[in-house]
Amino acid sequence: MAVMKKTLIINGVERMFICDPENDTLADVLRRLGLTGTKVGCRAGQCGICSVLLDGEVTRSCLKKIRAVPYYARVETIEGLGTAQSLHPLQLAWMVQGAVQCGFCTPGFIMSAKGLLDQNQDPTREEVRAWFRKNRNACRCTGYKQIVDAVMDAAKVLRGEKTMADLAFRMPADGRIYGSSIPRPAALGKVMGACDYGDDLAQKTPDVLHLAVVLPGCSHARIKGLDTSEAEKAPGVFKVITARDIRGNNRLALPTAHPRAKADGLEQPIISDQKVVRFGDVLALVAAETPAQARAAAALVQPDLEPLPEYPTALEASAPDALEIHPGVPNLFVTLPVLKGEEARKVLDESAHTVSGSFYSTRQPHLVLEPDTAQAYVDAEGVLTIHCKALALQVTIDAISDGIGFPPDKMRMILNPTGASFGYTMSPETPALVAVAALATGRPVSLTLSYPEHQHFTGKRAASFSNARLGCDAEGKLTGVEYELVYDKGCYTEYGAALAEMGTRFFTLPYYLPNVTGLARSVLSNHAHSTAYRGYGSPQGYTASEQLMDMLAEKSGIDPFEFRYKNVIRPGLTSQNGHGFAVYPMIEILDRMRPRYQALKERAARESTDRKKRGVGIVCGMFNVTGYSGDHAEVALELGPDGAVTHFNTWEDQGQGGDVGTLVLTHEALRPLGIRPDQIKMVMNDTALCPPTGMAASSRSHLMAGLATLDAARKLMDAMRKPDGAFRTHAEMTAENIPTKYVGISDTAAATTPLDLNTGQGDPSIEYTFGAFLAEVEVDLDTGQTRVVAMHTVGDVGVIGNKAVVDGQAYGGMMHTIGFALSENYFDVKKHATLAGAGFPYIDMIPDGDDFTVEYVETPRPAGPHGSSGCAELFQTSGHVAVINAIYHAVGVRVHDLPATPEKVLALLKAKAEGRLAPPPPYFFGEDFYDTIEEIKTNPVSWE
Ligand code: FES
Ligand code: FES
């Protein structure tokens, strides 16, 4: 390699360095110089994460070859903008507006915004949005609105209309931060570019080996051999790691653990050894001295594969002659029933009105901006330490220990600052890969996937197929539903029963159905395996049930909003699982939403033109808070000599707000001590230091960690309390031999009931969240293009602990639902391998300002800490169907299979114009629906 010297003026300072003019980009050089505030995400010019100012111009540094950067060019990066003591207005505005969630996009966005404000200190919101669109600045967390708010605020400071003090967060007069919008503690490091994410850590790890994956290039094959000889001889290669190098059983342990599951959850290898079952399976890892050397050598590995028929969806995999993807495990491996009241077939046959339909939802990709990354090493005490993005730190240890062949009590999991996951890191596969590599090489290792590799390797939301029939009486009261909801699990069974269980809970909720006959099923296919994703398991059901609600409203001659209002559960009525709710605010939510619905309908009628039609869609949604009966969490509080209290937990924060949640819950629980927020220290997400708080899933963290915090605070304050009611100091406690550290526990076992295996009746969750979503769209009759003009939600997540954080989940969730409805997909392994190809929603797809709002009904929750529950997943349950229903309202065509791409809408419009519009035929999975119901009724199962 020929290298050369170059000099640039970086953040005002002359910097000389040596680089590879042929291969280095400006981003590579900056990061090698230690300026890792400049992140790299897509490495393809599609996300703007790497934006810097080059001679004053916003420049995506991942695309800019270093040879094309002039000598002595001026480069401005995030590190040069402000200091912790003297932030730039943009940095402070980002913090206080809640524009920082995971923060991975933040440095690039702020530098892009600086480029704008250097030219124009008084931009309009539209100009800000157009600027970010032009510069491809993408954010997956926020929904963009808070980012535009931050730029507008910073511009006011720069114009002298506001001071930095005006902008800063002010402590409430009563000193209470619970319910305020106090900025996240982690935001400061993120706006300064000082926060090191996984790949940044790898840049700074001594003796590190870089890993590259070998993928098979097909989706179903038998592995006959693997020739690694050329790769082993390649420059810089330390070792090529295959399944033979793994000490353990090479299987991830993700138990399906359900009597109705015909799989044990041990199908997934860490490195594939017998079969390829998806495009993203890993056949080998190459460990080399540089990332480029590892990738070059990985391309030299030669697999010998015997092709097998590929089943890209659950439909093909259900064909009678389909091979078992995992021999011995039926492709249709889980069927769970929900049976309430009379058999729905009979009730529906006698109902005044019925509608039926078949619906498909896509394998939605999470589209995080940070491709998956993890590091591992064995420390001086022989502890295998794994840094990663896991949402379930302790669970990951249990899931990989046997597979890698290392004792769980000698493993330590650490959560890196994380460019978000929205659920996919519930799957433990990346930690397992770096673990086996660290053990096989004896050196620290780091793996950062390219964006295409990330797309192929990581799990996705399960695609779904459903057939359903819904009925009502002559007054529009629902009478019953029958449905079959099939989750396309992809290639591995991971938590397949838990997923199907969601299908037996949220199809048609929050409406009262006296009679329900339903099946939820999980089926394997040769595609990316499904994993957790915000809203887990519910959007698939709502894709069908909230469209059927509109269809039935139309058939009954009732407005869709009023039809829903008539049918939401009233006090004393039960869900399809036969339970009631301690709190049930749907009437208040819909009352709050009604004026907006009317206003949007009037505007849609007014603004429709001959060629651009507007329409409005409304849906309701719900989600559980805690997912299974017997949920358990622990945290610890310790009083320090300085009077500060340290909180220890594993609330896996990936930008959703675990840090500030921990802060406000602790501050509120310790109010009697009168401590200030800065006297609360947090030690989080390191299994060597923190008790098990459980996974960050099922919208459970705030509630479960909050209850455990209350318990720990009670124990600590009881120990500190003197007979006269005053509190002991740390010195007094130690003098009296009173412990200063207490573990708090919360557990839902006594208050919840698992679902009955034969009827689906029961209530495994301690709390719920509720909401309604309203969308206005404009459909271009000439192109089929749908634009979401407005989206609003009214939600009830209990008493709010931090408003900015809940807003972030709400706006971010709605943004994901718009993408899910209109563009996002992971099916075509070429087209959908990139962010743009997979339909990433950029800022121009998302409404803004008064057309994008969230309102709250804050009904205190009896079971939650300080009246709170959880929040994240509500906002990504059913909103996508509001968009689909709005398209129907606008142009009279119903999109049964997501996403509603322009081509699809245009084809439907054409078919309608030609009088040949027909709904899709029912999906068939090899078994008659009522035969299966009968089989379940006559062959009950039990946990024994
Ligand atoms: Fe450079 Fe995405 S645009 S990393
Ligand atoms: Fe923008 Fe996470 S905060 S991608």
| Distance (Å) from CA 57 to ligand 1 centroid | 16
Q: In ligand 2, which atom is closest to the CA atom of 109?
A: 1
Q: Kindly give the distance from the C-alpha atom of residue 875 to the centroid of ligand 1, in angstroms, as a whole number.
A: 28
Say if ligand 1 is within 6 A of residue 239 CB. Answer: no
Alpha carbon distance 424, 495 (integer Å): 13
* Pocket of ligand 2 contains residue 655 by CB under 6 Å: yes
Local structure of residue 568 (DSSP, 8 states): B
Pocket test for ligand 1, best of 26, 29, 54, 62 (most atoms within 8 A of CB): 62
SS (H, E, C) 352-372: CEEEEEEEEECCCCCCCCCCC
The pLDDT of 244-268, averaged and rounded, is: 91
By CB atoms closer than 10 A (0-12, 13-18, 19+), residue 244 is exposed
Burial code of 858-872, b = ≥16 C-beta within 10 A, e = fewer?
Answer: ebebebbbbbbbbbb
Does residue 31 line the site of ligand 2, with CB under 6 A? no
Q: Which residue matches tokens 């022989």?
A: 382
Map residue 678 onto helix, strand or coil: helix
Mutation pick for ligand 1 pocket among 30, 49, 111 (CB with most ligand atoms within 8 Å): 49
Tens digits of per-residue pLDDT, 198-241? 999 999 999 999 999 999 999 999 999 999 999 999 999 999 99
| pLDDT tops 90 at residue 943 | no
pLDDT band at residue 471 using 50, 70 and 90 as cut-offs: very high
Give residue 571's pLDDT. 86
Give percent of the chain above pLDDT 90. Answer: 97
For ligand 1, whether the C-beta of 47 sits within 6 Å is: yes
Signed CA dihedral, 29, 32, 36, 42: sign only: positive
Considering Cα of 557, then 559, then 565, then 567, what sign does the dihedral take?
A: positive
Q: Could you tell me the pLDDT band of residue 582, with boundaries at 50, 70 and 90?
A: confident
Does 557 have pLDDT greater than 90?
yes
Q: pTM of this prediction? A: 0.97
Give the contacts of 641 (CB within 8 A, at least 6 positions apart): 730, 731
Report the atom number in ligand 1 closest to the C-alpha of 41.
4
- The DSSP bridge partners found for residue 447 are 211, 374
- Segment 141-166 mean pLDDT: 98
Q: In the beta sheet, which residues pair with residue 786?
A: 779
CA 142–ligand 2 middle distance (angstroms): 6
User: Which tens digit of pLDDT belongs to each residue from 171-194?
Assistant: 999 999 999 999 999 999 999 999
CA of 11 to the centre of ligand 1 (A): 20
Q: What angle do CA 595, 596, 601 make, to 5 degrees?
A: 100
Q: Residue 256 above 90 pLDDT?
A: no
Q: Are strands 645-649 and 632-639 parallel, antiparallel or unpaired?
A: antiparallel
Give the distance (Å) from ligand 1 centre to CA of residue 568.
45
Question: Two tokens at 335?
Answer: 């069927």
On the question of pLDDT at 702 being above 80, the answer is: yes
For range 13-17, the mean pLDDT:
98
Pocket test for ligand 2, best of 50, 78, 97, 102 (most atoms within 8 A of CB): 102
Catalytic residue among 546, 634, 668, 873: 873
What pLDDT is stored for residue 255 in this prediction? Answer: 75
Task: Return all residues near 170 (Cβ < 8 A) that are at least 6 apart.
Answer: none
Q: Is 111 in the pocket of ligand 1 (CB under 6 A)?
A: no
* Average pLDDT value for residue range 879-886: 98
- At residue 265, the pLDDT reads 87
Nearest C-alpha to atom 3 of ligand 1 is from which residue?
A: 45
Burial of residue 323, with CB atoms counted within 10 A of its CB: 0-12 exposed, 13-18 middle, 19 or more buried: middle
Between CA 855 and CA 864, with CA 859 as vertex, the angle to 5 degrees is 120
Residue pLDDT, tens place only, 783-805 = 999 999 999 999 999 999 999 99
Question: Does 873 participate in catalysis according to the annotation?
Answer: yes
pLDDT (mean) for 485-514 = 96
Ligand located closest to 41 CA: 1
Identify the pLDDT of residue 944: 76
Instruction: Pick the atom of ligand 2 nearest to 100's CA.
Output: 3
Q: Is the CB of 50 under 6 A from ligand 1?
A: yes
Residue 257 confidence (pLDDT) = 73
Encoded tokens for 455: 């797309």
The amino acid that residue 131 corresponds to is W
Tell me the average pLDDT across 414-424: 97
> Average model confidence (pLDDT) for the chain?
97
Q: Answer yes or no: are the C-beta atoms of 454 and 430 closer than 8 Å.
A: no
Ligand 2 proximity of 141 Cβ (cutoff 6 Å): yes
User: Helix, strand or coil for residue 447?
Assistant: strand
| pLDDT score for 830 | 97
- Residue 144 vs residues 279, 816, 843, 846, 906: alpha-carbon distances, Å: 33, 12, 6, 8, 29
Interval between CA 677 and ligand 2 midpoint (Å): 25
pLDDT tens track for 288-318? 999 999 999 999 999 999 999 999 999 999 9
The pLDDT tens digits for 361-385 are: 999 999 999 999 999 999 999 999 9
Cβ of residue 539 lying under 6 Å from some atom of ligand 1: no
